[in-house]
Structure 1
Amino acid sequence: MSDSSHSSKNSFFGRFAEQITKYSGSTAVFVGAVALVLLWAMVGPIFHYSETWQLVINTSTTIITFLMVFLIQRAQNKDSLVLHLKLNELIAATKGASNRLINAQDFSEEEIRLIHQFYCLLADKAKADNDLGETHSIEEAEDNHHEKLAAHRE
């Protein structure tokens, strides 16, 4: 399979999945789903609330839920990636921003906790400042952290 045919299949599936995701989140689909459940409930007495009658709704909702989980996850993954790209662009374009936060989504939990501690230090510095326009960097927080560690060791 050539790359061009592979990418055209991906783009077809991508477009298809995106359209289904948008459509399934519409008011019309919700109203239709409610109508189907009400219709199912109304025909219950006709089928004497049989096991088959119950199986129809159980099977239908299970299959729809199973498929929708993957579509929702796909949409969420795409949205998350786009958000990360936009944030990376802002970080890269902002003078004084710490470029080490680009692709922070790939950091380990330990690295994320460490950076969170640094931002807690920044928040503490901001609280201590009376000037709301004063800015601090992660590097300043890191220096303060090292100073605190050195002071504790003395």
Structure 2
Amino acid sequence: MKKLNGLFERMANHVTAWTGSSPAFLAAFAIVLIWAATGPLFGYSETWQLVINTGTTIVTFLMVFIIQKSQNKESKAIQLKLNELIAASRWASNRMVDIEDLTEEELNVLHKFYQKLSDESEKDEDIHKSHSIDAADLIQKEKQRFQSGQKKDDNAS
């Protein structure tokens, strides 16, 4: 089974790379032109129409699986890269690793939290300050205390 999966993986990679290329588009375009040009030869018959319909249906059916395989692999790679960035950042919340496994409702709760976080950070004058999901309120309060203390110090000078 592993050998078959490896074969499918290599084939999917090659097919995905080729179908996204200019030569593949030109080949598909040429096929459509040839089909259209042969219309008068076959009297625009139902069989003539069935040829292109069947061909495009089969190609579309197969491409759905190839594209999905490619997207799954790319999505997993992106998730791993993001997980590495989260793990490497001392300020990022490790709770965000594997967030894609949460339910839609759980994601909505997090979305509302980040919306609140965004609203809070908009109050900051410095756009380069960051916030963490684990310490957002605490950090925001500390920053506000620091800023108000700094403003008092600035006014005293």
TM-score normalised per structure 1:
0.85
What is aligned with 2:135?
140
* 1:18 lines up with 2:13 in the alignment: yes
| Structure with higher RCO (Cα < 8 A, 6+ apart) | 2
Aligned equivalent of 1:7: 2
Matching of residue 84 in structure 1 with residue 65 in structure 2 = no
Structure 2 equivalent of residue 94 of structure 1: 89
Q: Which amino acid aligns with 2:77?
A: V
CA contact (8 A) 1:118 1:142 kept: no
**Partners of 1:40 and 1:57 within 8 A in 2:** yes
Q: Rg larger in 1 or in 2?
A: 2
Report the alpha carbon displacement of residue 135 of structure 1 after superposing the two structures with TM. Answer: 1.8
The equivalent position to 1:130 in structure 2, one of 122, 125, 138, is 125
Structure 1 runs of 4+ with >6 Å offset: none
> In the alignment, is the contact (CA less than 8 A) between 1:98 and 1:138 conserved in 2?
yes
Instruction: Tell me the CA shift for residue 143 of structure 1.
Output: 6.5
1:62-88 Cα distance to aligned partner (Å, 9 max, x none): 000000011001101111111111101
Counterpart position of 1:152 = none
The CA RMSD measured in Å over matched residues stands at 1.5
Q: CA separation in 2, counterparts of 1:80 and 1:65?
A: 22
Taking structure 2 as the reference length, the TM-score comes to 0.84
- Structure-1 residue corresponding to 2:35: 40
Question: Which residue of 38, 44, 51 maps to 1:49?
Answer: 44
Check conservation: 1:119, 1:141, Cα contact below 8 A. Answer: no
Does residue 61 of structure 1 match 2:78? Answer: no
Structure 1 Cα separation of the partners of residues 22 and 2 of structure 2: 32
What amino acid maps onto 1:140 in structure 2? A
SS at match of 2:134: helix
Number of equivalenced pairs: 139
Alignment gaps of 5+ in structure 2:
140-157
